[in-house]
Chain A
Amino acid sequence: MQRISGYFISLLIINFNLSVRAQDSIKVHLNIRAGFDIYGPAVYLINQNNLNFEAFIAFERSSRKTFILEGGYQNFKYFQYNYNWVSNGVFFRGGIDFNMIKPFEAAGKYYAGIGLRYGLSIYNSAVPSFQHDNYWGTGIGSIPSSTHVAHFFEVDPGIKTDILKNLSIGWNLRLRFLVYSGTGKDFKPVSIPGYGNGVKSFSPGINYYIIINIPYKSVYVKPEVEKVHEKETESVKQQ
């Protein structure tokens, strides 16, 4: 008799818990997000030889997954004691962001996760002048402008949070891996727009975004109840 009554009480607890969880579900907006980077312009205020603008548009497929398309422009000049380098061009990145925060806790406002990107850069580069000194004296030369296409991959950990209604801020670390610089092995580019130092096969970076959110759909999310349910079922069996 005690076992049977315990069983019924447990069932009531489970049902009660489930009903409480159902009431706890919250309405979350899925957004189309548009953001622009403020790190590039901040760098330009300090170093007028590096002008970098970039922005993105993102489509939240679900509370966890966001498809993203990024684009930008860079004009880069570099002056060293024995050479000058100029490059400019556009770049595009496409990929996906995975939110590691559980949907109920993120509530459509917080993102802490990791993104994967494929990047493409179309750029011109030139060396207007260079000189090289050795035993025979000083050799001077220049390399005319030419167009190249570079390819790279990125892993982008980052964080975003709502600060006002429909307005977020966030940052992304950029861990970039060069696939192809578009130039020969003898003349790797000092800078590839959207990638960074093309002499190296790994180039880290950072972006700080201001983001406008346009809700396009609402979904209801609730806390994950599966494990709670299983545990309580086990306790019923033990009784």
Chain B
Amino acid sequence: MRIKVSKLSCLVILVIIIKLIASCTPQSCLQETTSFLNAGFYKTGTGTPLAPDSITVFGIGNETNMLYDQAPKLTSINLPLNASSDACGFVIKVNNITDTLRFIYSSRPYLISKECGITFFFTLDSVMVSGTIVDTIVVTNNNITIFNAENIRIFY
């Protein structure tokens, strides 16, 4: 009995040493860490997805940094909201016709994991659109997270 217990104790000491070494090794983050507002494109008057021939998107006040530049045949786009503010806007060119979208929201910090750290989640309060090509915007899910669900539908 004493020999068996001693052998087991030796095994556990080995496991402890391995665990101690492993605990000092940093692990990498393999998850998405940015929350995006996901917008799907639909044909006006129907529930049918309709990919525009081309889409260009950039943030208002951030014109030199394009999110999408003449991107062809996308049925949805991801828009990053500004966590330092409770509102932000985007210029969106659908088939070379320009509209603007403006979002009002609240943000809250979210801990993804020990390795990935903290990001922001958002609760969408309202959406405003100006221009000619976008007909209607419907909010389908006002909770904007890293988990990539559709948040708004853009009918054009």
Chain A residues engaging chain B, CB cutoff 8 angstroms: 39, 42-43, 46-47, 78, 80-83, 101, 105, 110, 112, 127, 130, 132, 134-137, 139, 141, 143, 159, 161, 169, 171, 186-190, 197, 199, 206, 208
Contact = CB atoms under 8 A, between A and B. Distances in A.
A78 to B, nearest CB: 7
A105 B1 CA distance: 8
A101 B114 CA distance: 40
- Size class of the contact patch on chain B: 35 or more
B9 A171 contact: yes
Interface stretch (B19-27, B91-99, B125-133): B19-27
A190 B16 contact: no
B109 A130 contact: yes
B22 to A, nearest CB: 11
Contacts of B16: 39, 42, 171, 206, 208
A186 B108 contact: yes
B142 to A, nearest CB: 15
Interface of B: 1-2, 5-6, 8-9, 12-13, 15-16, 19-20, 23-24, 33-34, 59, 62, 65, 67, 80-85, 88, 108-111, 113-115, 117-121
A136 B88 contact: yes
Contacts of A110: 1-2, 5
15 contacts: A46-B23, A78-B114, A135-B67, A136-B83, A136-B88, A137-B84, A139-B83, A139-B84, A159-B9, A169-B9, A187-B109, A187-B111, A190-B111, A197-B114, A206-B19
B9 A132 contact: no
B23 A43 contact: yes
A134 B80 contact: yes
Nearest to A38: B16
A82 B112 CA distance: 12
Nearest to A188: B111
Given A159-B8, A206-B16, A136 B1 contact: no
Contacts of B81: 136
Given A136-B88, A139-B84, A80 B115 contact: yes
Contact of A141 (B8, B80, B109): B109
Contacts of A130: 109, 117-118
Contacts of A101: 1
A206 B5 contact: no
B85 to A, nearest CB: 8
Contacts of B5: 110, 112, 159, 161
B118 A82 contact: yes
Contacts of B115: 80
B80 A136 contact: yes
Given A171-B12, A199-B111, A132 B119 contact: yes
